[in-house]
Chains A and B, each alone.
Chain A
Amino acid sequence: MLFNSLGFLLFFVVVLILYYAPIFRWKFKKGMLLVASYVFYGLWNPPLILLLWISTVVDWTVGNKLAVTEDKRKRNGWLILSLVVNLGFLGFFKYGDFLLQNFTLLANSIGWDFEARPIDIILPMGISFYTFQTMSYTLDIYYKKIKPARSFLDFALYVTFFPQLVAGPIVRAKELISQFYVLKRATVHQFIWGMFLLTLGLFQKVIMADTLLADTSDTIFNSTAALNFWDAWAGTLAFSGQIFFDFAGYSTCAIGIALMLGIILPHNFLYPYGAIGFSDFWRRWHISLSTWLRDYLYIPLGGNRHGIRRMYVALMLTMLLGGLWHGAAWTFVVWGLLHGIYLVVEKALKHRVKIKINSINVIFFAFLTFTCVNFTWVFFRAGDFSTARHMIESMLFLNPDGQLVLGYFDLLKVFTITTILFFTHWYMRKRTVKMVAQSLPTWLFATVWAIMMFLLVIAQGSGEQFIYFQF
């Protein structure tokens, strides 16, 4: 079920009525939220709820066993069971075809005439998100950072909580499960602010991403011709904006919906295009994933505790796997590789070149970061390396006679939105939406809210999926 759909509106109203009905106890309400979450997921593809159940049961069992077992071999065994089940699901459903294709290529390259039919299996929505979430629970118990959930219901709801089930934020157990232990009700203030965040998230998705930027990005990246400099940049910037608004929009909706239930979810985006440097970018972009990768991959790989060389290796591996997490294609790996290189270069330069960031050069470094990030988006969006190569060449002035695909208005639209986006992120670097909202007069805030609602109604979004659902 999509947040930007009438079905969700009806679903959520029913959930709210049951949730706030004074006749039910908290345990019933949690049970209702759990059932609602399965309905939310099952309306997409009912049989795939089974995967959620298996993940839930396995990690609940493993968590409980880890909590009472001190024997290291046994603890390792239980952990491996959880990792095998969760990564096995990911491997089979998400990477099955990719692995088969690459195995076939490898076999053919060494002269083995091997041919395999694609598995052609459906990718369960949000599998990358909920498997990472359940794994974090087991890993945290393994590392003795947390205790197991108090009840199976609390744990099952943690795995399945519908606002963040299919596209995050990937919430840690200590942040969410404990919120289920006591009765939760949103205050009036929280409820209204949640409504505003839901409106803002939908506005980002439906108006900014789908209505204003998606077509330009699709036109450019679906083009087979070598493109003109301006067209290539417009396409890349359009995608850059589209993926931000699409994903941050989803996260904002999720945070708002949860808040209307009195549940607090962490921020997932903090104005990433205003970042100064790539470490800063990853502290602002998809924060729940980057912190997950840091805690469960980068640090176990050694982090920065074993010298610079080992740190660079850990960093590169983390970013390569982070790239692969986004999709089963080598283009995603290259996206991760580029970010890995950026981070390594940044860390290397930091030790050698001392640059004092001041109020004048800071905007230059933010712009430089934004520009470099845009080059990575080309690999993220391009369906193949040939398209990516054409795009990069065009963006570097190497196709002076490239084809003109977009009209003047499209160019104006994309460059205007990008400029506003960049400066907004820059301005918001040390602010939050709430801080800005609180500084506005009531009439102005209400008018902005009303405009967003009106535009949402007249946009009549086609109800298409969020980009990150496929990850």
Chain B
Amino acid sequence: MSLKRSLVIAVILSLLSIAGWEVHWRAQGYYPELDDDKYLWAKTRAKVEDAGKNEVVIVGSSRALFDLQLDVWEEYTGIRPIQLASPGSTPLPIFSDLVNQTDFSGTAIVGVTPGLFFSTTYPKAPPWNRAQKRVDFYRERTYAQRLNYALWVPLLNTFAFLANDEENWVDDLNLKNFIDRIQIGERTEGPTMPPFYRFSEIELDRNVRMKDKVVIDTTFANSIKKVWKFFVSGDRPPPDKEGTISFFAKDAEKFMNRGGNLILVRCPADGFLLELETQNFPREDFWDELVQQTGATAYHYSDYKVLTGFDLPEWSHLSGPDADLFTKELVNIMIADQNLPTLNN
């Protein structure tokens, strides 16, 4: 065995394999895209440290992420918000971090998705834990991790086969995911989660848009609806209304007392999810009480004709064009109410 020749052959073979792998997945319709992971969240969170009075920070769940478009917001206000909303999680730990670990006193937009916002304050419960992990990572990340991420982003923007999202989408292209997808028969009890496909795109400043495929491919949209149904089915713990409102109200009071501008936003829902939220989280019992106890400025989409009537392809989030329109109308309402800072004349 010749080591030199082995090295040359191994390098050539591996480069050819990687090139072939990339070509194969591009032919399948994949393209380079960033991941919404703790690294990107932490990088965005760092911006808050230098944020002034005119800055806007968005916290919330995935609806605040999909429905509030940063480009449109910037177009109408001259200010590009810092997007810290985190999918599938309650905004409480992130808002608490904003209030207690920074001296930020600008505008905080808090997206309220009832099933998540009023879910829990228990640290180990997934809606809390998912957000808290990102907050913790921001505090604990090392310089080595920052360097790795800085080197990783250009690769993510170049190669379609790189995808390592924390959500573990069923269509992620990494070896672990390929192995996890192999199933032989049914051994374990309990329901199996339907396949959950990546249905959004994220930019380096965490501006998120729904993929066009959700709008034009009904089967694809239905696959996401099945996942929502799976998440809300079975035995689920009851909402902790008092606990969550009390926790949030304390931080809200502290934030507003130091001059912060707190705005609560309820984004649209549709179909099965809207029915479920209307039934399980009646507005007067949850939203109205939250608004009353915190004393924050609040915008519920159903109070404004221009914010209603959207067709949500998978019941929970707005399509890209609708999100643009929703953001534009919401921002204009807030500006008209003189509740939002703007640098535009």
Partner-B contacts on A (CB < 8 A)? 1-2, 5-8, 10, 42-46, 188-189, 192-193, 195-196, 207, 210-212, 215, 404-409, 411-413, 437-443, 445-447, 449-450, 453-455, 457-460, 462-463
Is B184 in contact with A189, judged by CB distance below 8 angstroms? Answer: no
Closest to B13 in A: A450
With a CB–CB cut-off of 8 A, which chain A residues contact B145? Answer: 463
Q: Which of B14-22, B75-83, B275-283 lies at the interface with chain A? A: B14-22
Shortest beta-carbon distance from A215 to chain B in Å: 8
Knowing A404-B188, A409-B183, A447-B13, the reply to whether A44 touches B6 (Cβ < 8 A) is no
Is A193 in contact with B3, judged by CB distance below 8 angstroms? Answer: yes
What are 21 sample pairs from A and B whose C-beta atoms fall under 8 A apart? A5-B144, A6-B151, A7-B148, A44-B142, A189-B3, A192-B7, A215-B176, A406-B188, A408-B184, A408-B187, A409-B184, A411-B187, A438-B1, A442-B2, A447-B9, A450-B11, A450-B13, A454-B18, A458-B21, A462-B164, A463-B145
Report the Cα distance A442→B11, complex, angstroms.
13
Shortest beta-carbon distance from A357 to chain B in Å: 33
Knowing A408-B185, A454-B17, the reply to whether A463 touches B10 (Cβ < 8 A) is no
Is A450 in contact with B164, judged by CB distance below 8 angstroms? Answer: no
Report if B189 contacts A (CB, 8 A): yes
With a CB–CB cut-off of 8 A, which chain A residues contact B148? Answer: 5-7, 463
With a CB–CB cut-off of 8 A, which chain B residues contact A440? Answer: 1
Additional A-B contact list (8), CB under 8 Å, known A446-B5, A453-B11, A454-B21: A406-B187, A407-B184, A407-B187, A408-B183, A409-B182, A458-B173, A458-B175, A460-B162
Report the Cα distance A405→B184, complex, angstroms.
14
Is A45 in contact with B14, judged by CB distance below 8 angstroms? Answer: no
Closest to B8 in A: A446
With a CB–CB cut-off of 8 A, which chain A residues contact B155? Answer: 6
With a CB–CB cut-off of 8 A, which chain B residues contact A409? Answer: 182-184
Query: Which residues of chain B from 177 to 204 have any CB-CB distance to chain A below 8 Å in the complex?
Result: 179-180, 182-189
Is A457 in contact with B18, judged by CB distance below 8 angstroms? Answer: yes
Q: Is the interface of A mostly helix, strand, loop or mixed?
A: helix
Is A1 in contact with B144, judged by CB distance below 8 angstroms? Answer: yes
Q: Is the interface of B mostly helix, strand, loop or mixed?
A: helix
Report the Cα distance A195→B8, complex, angstroms.
12
Shortest beta-carbon distance from B298 to chain A in Å: 39
The A/B interface has a contact count, at CB < 8 Å, of: 130
With a CB–CB cut-off of 8 A, which chain B residues contact A195? Answer: 7
Knowing A6-B152, A43-B143, A458-B173, the reply to whether A445 touches B1 (Cβ < 8 A) is yes
Shortest beta-carbon distance from A36 to chain B in Å: 13
Shortest beta-carbon distance from B124 to chain A in Å: 11
Report the Cα distance A353→B187, complex, angstroms.
45
Is B179 in contact with A445, judged by CB distance below 8 angstroms? Answer: no
Is A10 in contact with B4, judged by CB distance below 8 angstroms? Answer: no
Report the Cα distance A43→B150, complex, angstroms.
14
Report the Cα distance A1→B151, complex, angstroms.
14
Report the Cα distance A313→B161, complex, angstroms.
57
Is A7 in contact with B5, judged by CB distance below 8 angstroms? Answer: no
With a CB–CB cut-off of 8 A, which chain B residues contact A405? Answer: 188
With a CB–CB cut-off of 8 A, which chain B residues contact A44? Answer: 142-144
Closest to B21 in A: A458
Is B179 in contact with A212, judged by CB distance below 8 angstroms? Answer: yes
Query: Which residues of chain B from 272 to 326 have any CB-CB distance to chain A below 8 Å in the complex?
Result: none
Is A404 in contact with B187, judged by CB distance below 8 angstroms? Answer: yes
- Interface residue from A2, A193, A450 paired with B9 (Cβ < 8 Å): A450
Is A450 in contact with B185, judged by CB distance below 8 angstroms? Answer: no
With a CB–CB cut-off of 8 A, which chain B residues contact A5? Answer: 144, 148
Knowing A455-B175, A457-B18, the reply to whether A446 touches B13 (Cβ < 8 A) is yes
- Interface residue from A45, A196, A450, A460 paired with B142 (Cβ < 8 Å): A45
Report if B147 contacts A (CB, 8 A): yes
Report the Cα distance A27→B213, complex, angstroms.
61
Is B174 in contact with A43, judged by CB distance below 8 angstroms? Answer: no
With a CB–CB cut-off of 8 A, which chain A residues contact B188? Answer: 404-407
Closest to A6 in B: B151
Query: Sorted from nearest, which 9 A-B pairs have the closest CB atoms?
Result: A450-B13, A446-B9, A449-B10, A453-B14, A43-B144, A6-B151, A7-B147, A459-B175, A408-B184
Closest to A439 in B: B1
With a CB–CB cut-off of 8 A, which chain B residues contact A196? Answer: 3, 6-7
Counting chain B CB atoms within 10 Å of each CB, the highest count among A196, A445, A449, A450 belongs to A450
Report the Cα distance A188→B5, complex, angstroms.
12
Is A460 in contact with B187, judged by CB distance below 8 angstroms? Answer: no
Is B1 in contact with A442, judged by CB distance below 8 angstroms? Answer: yes
Report the Cα distance A406→B10, complex, angstroms.
36
Knowing A7-B147, A453-B14, A460-B164, the reply to whether A442 touches B6 (Cβ < 8 A) is yes
Report the Cα distance A411→B142, complex, angstroms.
36
Report the Cα distance A196→B4, complex, angstroms.
11
Report the Cα distance A196→B179, complex, angstroms.
25
Is B9 in contact with A46, judged by CB distance below 8 angstroms? Answer: no
Is B5 in contact with A442, judged by CB distance below 8 angstroms? Answer: yes
Is B151 in contact with A10, judged by CB distance below 8 angstroms? Answer: yes
Is B9 in contact with A454, judged by CB distance below 8 angstroms? Answer: no
